[in-house]
Chain A
């Protein structure tokens, strides 16, 4: 049957050539099946390759001959060929191509037909995602859209990056998230991109796909393709929005009057318990003043803004003739955070030119860059502002009568005033990165091309801060004013040479072979100068020679990588597919002897739907994929093999040297082996399609800072000591439940389950105490246990008076009102040996559900995510129960007259022990955005003389459904290794946005 058609077509063509054709102008209109005009469809004459495009009404006009065959194509529709046959007007109806089976997908060092894919690749149309969730950072819009990919909005600080992990954590020391490849160039970050510049994003998840990136591919690979200029007349596009950001509801706190009474209760209960006279902190008059509002200060309320404003503007101009196209774009974003003083400003630019110089020679340049600033108050682990503002006595004014900060709490413990973190902040910074990229592509023979990519990146960074004598830094340090100016410069280049060969031998064999030779080089320099004892605070860090003492330090680091890659993919009869690759990487970061390693992969796929026996089944698509691959992680910091002396000064300001590191020349690559089994299937004309992937990923020789006995003079040493296993299943369901002429409803659901465990530790230990301090102390890496294991004491409530009375009268007998920790080893007393697993912060399951409904000119989208099956250690809550803090929960403390209290009473100074009392269920559902847009109808557009105009409004994070008691459960997932701890991180807020998008 097929063969007959081919012969027929062939004969037609032959005949066509024989008959002389007449020159003519043909006009036409391209429409969809539902009768909508399709603007921007490309129409070209097959034999001459002359082309044109449909205008805003879907109309086109072009010269051809009466016998020409026109090829009409448009993204999202099936390509159609139409014979002119002498007609002057052609109506071309394009069929929608719902699932883009012949869509081309970027796979790294080349592209592939989507139908030929053997690996697990998730793909997102960035424009669509941003339409549903306008954002200044593309990662916000990607959240929940990619199965197997966890994207967590890690902080409310403007300009901060999201935490992205592909199929769990594979590395400890270099748990940096996936490799980002932008337009084929390795390196970069999603945050640094103007979202409007992005065309599509592909995530390579399984190792058969990522192995082509060898030593950099273990954490998954995100391929970003930026927008290309469209052929045709010059078009200008603008998108802008204003965003009003508010915090979620603030934590409950006592009024100053309530707290003053609590303080007096403390003075009574605590001091009496110690056998001393009760202490009165506040007199009745003072309490009355707190109650009537003439004294007291709401610290929590005062560190947050009522409303923070963000506004973003993007403009692009594109155009070009047949051979050469250009795109120029720019963006500016001003972004205040919900916490006072936090803000960021970002500007992006891009100039992109692509040209077909000769039929066999293509070249292009892409010049782009980013400028950004980001400042904010102290949210660090130690004395971060959120926890400090929650525990500082709100009966104490920020400053005393002399204008000095009150830096003591009621119990005379040193505590820097939270408002100082806001009011004394004097920092500025900027980051500037410039990328010069270019390529030349030679077609050597039909199907054989040689492409050379070269990218040079210049980065510079400046950070200035001045700390006056009232600042936290002076208070916690030497009491002197100081200043710090830090700048870094980096230059790096990547050069890839790609030889690729594509050959189709009749319809049964398709071969695609690629050879790559790639090198990269980076050189960075950091310079810091400091001044202590400033003669002028105003000058401060602008001139660090103005200081009683000045200091300087610099460091320089160079790293190189050399790689070779061979890849072949072969498709037999459109049904059986094979991809195999082999990459060698050599890195200067490792000791010279260990620098080379190899990373192979193999993947097979079977498109079952193409088999004759599948013809009468309900499946529209059925494909089985099987893949295996190895990837690595060059987690070793440069120079780790060397012993290192660091230089500093003594009291006489003389130079001195101290050893900071014993080198380990044995360090080698982290090596990940992954198996993937995938199944793609669809029904109802693919209106319901599923992608299911199962994987098993074992990362070996994971580098970890192993605690070594301190008698070595070191506390930790880096070693290839851990094996991590990630197993999981991920499902994407694409559905179009409704599609009529007026209403279309599209729905995408992604489901992800990943289980990451520590498989073993090479030196035979069963448990590793993570280095890092603070929140790391609440976690353990335990052999056979899941990552994110929270470790501590089991709290069995509070010792009641009669229980204590029944205990033997030993010196260490607990007092009534103290926490009762479980004596797990039954040693008779509670020691560090009584700690055990008290929770796990690694989500077992997460999902994202996006819905788009188009109704006439309105579009509506609803997008939500969920994370489930994990615990949160609510350290913020614990910190609020220690000592004397304005925390309403303290009313639930044990008292002699309230034996049922579950918070430790005011009987003894508590020690901060990790306790099961503060482990809460973390699961949450967040509606991330609800967006409504309205696109002006054609007629109105013509009056306005614009091509398109859409206005939209969006509410982001409108609803949070969770049992968790803290502000934002999402930020507790910011660090996958200490996933599920609330350490007073900068919370996300609720945003109200309006925007406008038009082009002319």
Chain B
């Protein structure tokens, strides 16, 4: 018996016991990463990629969801397309993917921001060293919620990585009210970001946010809060004040570049002379933008996803911007060796093509370039609009702001608006100027919504009018929540969907 036991034990002891405890071998976790400066940098870098999403992420979905603006259209014959938002037909036929991807894109950014805030706050080390990174995380969380409330209205406001409760402390997560999200998250986060972020951005270019980016965003947030749906008109003064603070700040080195087209050159993409914040893209480094072939018309052998709106084009004043922003002809092969230049009016969609992003590469599905978020022209026009609306009449700085933008648009030739305008007339100038200046920059729709001009501005386009979806009691101001999210979380859907 002894022999048996010995031989059994002998055999077993040859191999020992395996360890059943596992530890991550090839990845970092928020728990095992050390919060030193270089790691905080990599985490902060991650936020920008989370905002970008993928090449058909932020850039693509935001462009699509805001096609209801009057500056751009979807580029296929109305009957052939799924994308009907540009006819304000945001209804059941809207592509589920657009709302779903935008929604998940923003909440993923919120998750990564929350994790970073929790991780940094819980780590040792000097607060001074951690501040700038916290600032970036707060900025991103605010920016994500700012996008969400503008597209969807009421959404769940989550500020912890476990999504255990909403910002009001409810464990039963529902849709929080837009006002609460502004008051409890967006504004406080941006104020914190403004305080924590350095005057010179971490990357010293437009690819990361610094103090001025936070201030610009905050002033635009105030401007938005003053309009639809909150209509806290007293916030126009706050918006103007914040914009003015930037314009007058000693650390402000931003100014308008001399020529509009210089803003859209690949070689200049990280330049922060005017661009305050932009997502930098690179197809070589797998963080591509979507411009390329999506923006080529079918006459150019492109996918014709987006084209310019002809009615808007015809109203657009002749200046350097117009010359740059539009492509109005295409080539057709004629007799051998001959090319015929054809005006856009003969194209299927009878609309000019968007030229803005063509320096970023055109024939591939992915391209380089930037996704513009804030530039100095924003600051100037926010001030002009907000100050005028706050005081029912422009001050000198407001005039200077709009005239500076107009002057640059003509390549340096002064092109001032008339003096001594009434508040109402001045506002019309500013309102239009924003349209021309930010053509196809993902901004026009939000401007129309907060100023409740969606209907008015779309009446110029006979195609939209004929489609018959303009007047819908502002139901088309908001997009539907992703249907699967509604089903899963038992949310109520936005009216009209």
Give min CB distance, B479 to chain A, whole Å. Answer: 15
Flag if A707 contacts B283 (CB, 8 Å).
Answer: no
Flag if A549 contacts B107 (CB, 8 Å).
Answer: no
How many chain B residues touch A (CB < 8 A): the figure is 91
The answer to whether the Cβ of B438 comes within 8 Å of any Cβ in the partner chain is no
A711's contact among B39, B76, B361, B489, by CB below 8 Å, is which?
B489
Given contacts A532-B284, A560-B19, A646-B27, contact A479 B292 (CB under 8 A): yes
- List of A residues within 8 angstroms of B363 by Cβ: 479
Flag if B108 contacts A713 (CB, 8 Å).
Answer: yes
B485's contact among A517, A639, A650, A710, by CB below 8 Å, is which?
A710
Flag if A497 contacts B4 (CB, 8 Å).
Answer: no
The answer to whether the Cβ of A898 comes within 8 Å of any Cβ in the partner chain is no
The answer to whether the Cβ of A652 comes within 8 Å of any Cβ in the partner chain is yes
Flag if A592 contacts B21 (CB, 8 Å).
Answer: yes
Residues 96-136 of chain B: 1 if any A CB is under 8 Å from the residue's CB, otherwise 0? Answer: 00001001100110111011000000000000000000000
- List of A residues within 8 angstroms of B323 by Cβ: none
- List of B residues within 8 angstroms of A643 by Cβ: 29-31
- List of B residues within 8 angstroms of A556 by Cβ: 25-26
Binds A, one of B6-14, B185-193, B422-430: B6-14
* Least CB separation from A520: chain B residue: B18
* Least CB separation from B164: chain A residue: A712
Binds B, one of A54-62, A422-430, A445-453, A609-617: A445-453
Flag if A711 contacts B107 (CB, 8 Å).
Answer: yes
Please measure, in the bound complex, the distance between the C-alpha atom of A554 and the C-alpha atom of B81, giving whole angstroms: 42
| Of B112, B282, B488, most A-chain CB atoms within 10 Å | B488
- List of B residues within 8 angstroms of A645 by Cβ: 27-30, 33, 46
The answer to whether the Cβ of B329 comes within 8 Å of any Cβ in the partner chain is no
The answer to whether the Cβ of A521 comes within 8 Å of any Cβ in the partner chain is yes
- List of B residues within 8 angstroms of A911 by Cβ: 82, 93
Flag if B21 contacts A908 (CB, 8 Å).
Answer: no
* Least CB separation from A454: chain B residue: B15
Flag if A713 contacts B111 (CB, 8 Å).
Answer: yes
Given contacts A450-B7, A478-B365, A708-B488, contact A588 B286 (CB under 8 A): no
Give min CB distance, A165 to chain B, whole Å. Answer: 29
The answer to whether the Cβ of B303 comes within 8 Å of any Cβ in the partner chain is yes
Give min CB distance, A494 to chain B, whole Å. Answer: 10
| Of B3, B27, B203, B361, most A-chain CB atoms within 10 Å | B27
The answer to whether the Cβ of A414 comes within 8 Å of any Cβ in the partner chain is yes
The answer to whether the Cβ of A102 comes within 8 Å of any Cβ in the partner chain is no
Flag if A649 contacts B77 (CB, 8 Å).
Answer: no
Residues 318-344 of chain B: 1 if any A CB is under 8 Å from the residue's CB, otherwise 0? Answer: 000000000000000000000000000
- List of A residues within 8 angstroms of B203 by Cβ: 652
| Of A411, A519, A652, A662, most B-chain CB atoms within 10 Å | A652
Flag if A592 contacts B80 (CB, 8 Å).
Answer: no
- List of A residues within 8 angstroms of B158 by Cβ: 711-712
Flag if A909 contacts B303 (CB, 8 Å).
Answer: no
Residues 135-168 of chain A: 1 if any B CB is under 8 Å from the residue's CB, otherwise 0? Answer: 0000000000000000000000000000000000
- List of A residues within 8 angstroms of B104 by Cβ: 710, 715
Flag if A497 contacts B30 (CB, 8 Å).
Answer: no
A588's contact among B19, B46, B287, by CB below 8 Å, is which?
B19
* Least CB separation from A448: chain B residue: B4
Please measure, in the bound complex, the distance between the C-alpha atom of A560 and the C-alpha atom of B16, giving whole angstroms: 13
Give min CB distance, A111 to chain B, whole Å. Answer: 21
Please measure, in the bound complex, the distance between the C-alpha atom of A298 and the C-alpha atom of B19, giving whole angstroms: 59
Which A484-534 residues sit within 8 Å CB-CB of chain B?
495, 497, 499, 517, 519-521, 532-533
Flag if A562 contacts B18 (CB, 8 Å).
Answer: yes
Given contacts A445-B4, A657-B43, A811-B468, contact A909 B81 (CB under 8 A): yes
Please measure, in the bound complex, the distance between the C-alpha atom of A911 and the C-alpha atom of B79, giving whole angstroms: 12
Flag if B22 contacts A588 (CB, 8 Å).
Answer: yes
- List of B residues within 8 angstroms of A450 by Cβ: 4, 7-8, 11
- List of A residues within 8 angstroms of B283 by Cβ: 478-480
Flag if B303 contacts A519 (CB, 8 Å).
Answer: no
Give min CB distance, B330 to chain A, whole Å. Answer: 13
Flag if B163 contacts A909 (CB, 8 Å).
Answer: no
Give min CB distance, B104 to chain A, whole Å. Answer: 4
The answer to whether the Cβ of B65 comes within 8 Å of any Cβ in the partner chain is no
Flag if A662 contacts B365 (CB, 8 Å).
Answer: no
- List of B residues within 8 angstroms of A495 by Cβ: 15
Binds B, one of A181-189, A269-277, A323-331, A783-791: A269-277
A652's contact among B114, B155, B207, B301, by CB below 8 Å, is which?
B207
Residues 66-103 of chain B: 1 if any A CB is under 8 Å from the residue's CB, otherwise 0? Answer: 00000000001111111000000001110000001001
The answer to whether the Cβ of B483 comes within 8 Å of any Cβ in the partner chain is yes
Please measure, in the bound complex, the distance between the C-alpha atom of A709 and the C-alpha atom of B488, giving whole angstroms: 6
Residues 28-54 of chain B: 1 if any A CB is under 8 Å from the residue's CB, otherwise 0? Answer: 111101000001011101101110000
Flag if A586 contacts B292 (CB, 8 Å).
Answer: no
Given contacts A533-B284, A592-B21, A769-B484, contact A554 B15 (CB under 8 A): no
The answer to whether the Cβ of B181 comes within 8 Å of any Cβ in the partner chain is no
* Least CB separation from B76: chain A residue: A412
The answer to whether the Cβ of B24 comes within 8 Å of any Cβ in the partner chain is yes
* Least CB separation from A469: chain B residue: B364
Give min CB distance, B487 to chain A, whole Å. Answer: 8
Residues 444-468 of chain A: 1 if any B CB is under 8 Å from the residue's CB, otherwise 0? Answer: 1100101010100000000000000
Give min CB distance, A300 to chain B, whole Å. Answer: 25
Please measure, in the bound complex, the distance between the C-alpha atom of A998 and the C-alpha atom of B298, giving whole angstroms: 65
Flag if A659 contacts B12 (CB, 8 Å).
Answer: no
- List of A residues within 8 angstroms of B19 by Cβ: 560, 588
Please measure, in the bound complex, the distance between the C-alpha atom of A644 and the C-alpha atom of B92, giving whole angstroms: 37
Give min CB distance, A904 to chain B, whole Å. Answer: 13
Please measure, in the bound complex, the distance between the C-alpha atom of A589 and the C-alpha atom of B31, giving whole angstroms: 19
Given contacts A445-B4, A560-B19, contact A709 B298 (CB under 8 A): no
The answer to whether the Cβ of A561 comes within 8 Å of any Cβ in the partner chain is yes
Flag if A712 contacts B285 (CB, 8 Å).
Answer: no
Flag if A478 contacts B42 (CB, 8 Å).
Answer: no
The answer to whether the Cβ of B387 comes within 8 Å of any Cβ in the partner chain is no
Flag if B26 contacts A479 (CB, 8 Å).
Answer: no
Flag if A659 contacts B79 (CB, 8 Å).
Answer: no
- List of A residues within 8 angstroms of B361 by Cβ: 479
Flag if B20 contacts A562 (CB, 8 Å).
Answer: yes
Which B288-307 residues sit within 8 Å CB-CB of chain A?
288, 292-293, 298, 301, 303-304
Flag if A649 contacts B26 (CB, 8 Å).
Answer: no
The answer to whether the Cβ of B173 comes within 8 Å of any Cβ in the partner chain is yes
Which A586-610 residues sit within 8 Å CB-CB of chain B?
586-589, 592, 595
Please measure, in the bound complex, the distance between the C-alpha atom of A52 and the C-alpha atom of B191, giving whole angstroms: 95
Please measure, in the bound complex, the distance between the C-alpha atom of A690 and the C-alpha atom of B363, giving whole angstroms: 68
Please measure, in the bound complex, the distance between the C-alpha atom of A168 and the C-alpha atom of B367, giving whole angstroms: 47
- List of A residues within 8 angstroms of B114 by Cβ: 713
Flag if B301 contacts A588 (CB, 8 Å).
Answer: no
Please measure, in the bound complex, the distance between the C-alpha atom of A708 and the C-alpha atom of B39, giving whole angstroms: 30
Flag if B366 contacts A497 (CB, 8 Å).
Answer: no
- List of B residues within 8 angstroms of A445 by Cβ: 4
The answer to whether the Cβ of B161 comes within 8 Å of any Cβ in the partner chain is yes
Give min CB distance, A588 to chain B, whole Å. Answer: 5
Residues 174-199 of chain A: 1 if any B CB is under 8 Å from the residue's CB, otherwise 0? Answer: 00000000000000000000000000
The answer to whether the Cβ of B281 comes within 8 Å of any Cβ in the partner chain is yes
| Of A412, A519, A520, A639, most B-chain CB atoms within 10 Å | A412
- List of B residues within 8 angstroms of A532 by Cβ: 284, 286
Closest 3 CB pairs of A and B: A713-B111, A479-B364, A656-B45
Q: Apart from A479-B364, A649-B285, what 15 extra A-B contacts exist at CB < 8 Å?
A: A270-B79, A411-B80, A412-B76, A412-B298, A477-B364, A479-B366, A554-B26, A558-B25, A643-B31, A650-B45, A651-B280, A651-B281, A653-B282, A711-B156, A713-B114
Give me 5 A-to-B residue pairs in the complex whose CB atoms sit less than 8 angstroms apart, sorted by A's number: A444-B7, A588-B20, A657-B46, A658-B112, A712-B111
B residues in contact (CB < 8 Å) with A: 3-4, 7-8, 11-12, 14-15, 17-22, 24-31, 33, 39, 41-43, 45-46, 48-50, 76-82, 91-93, 100, 103-104, 107-108, 110-112, 114-115, 155-156, 158, 161-163, 173, 203, 207, 270, 280-288, 292-293, 298, 301, 303-304, 361, 363-367, 468-469, 482-485, 488-489
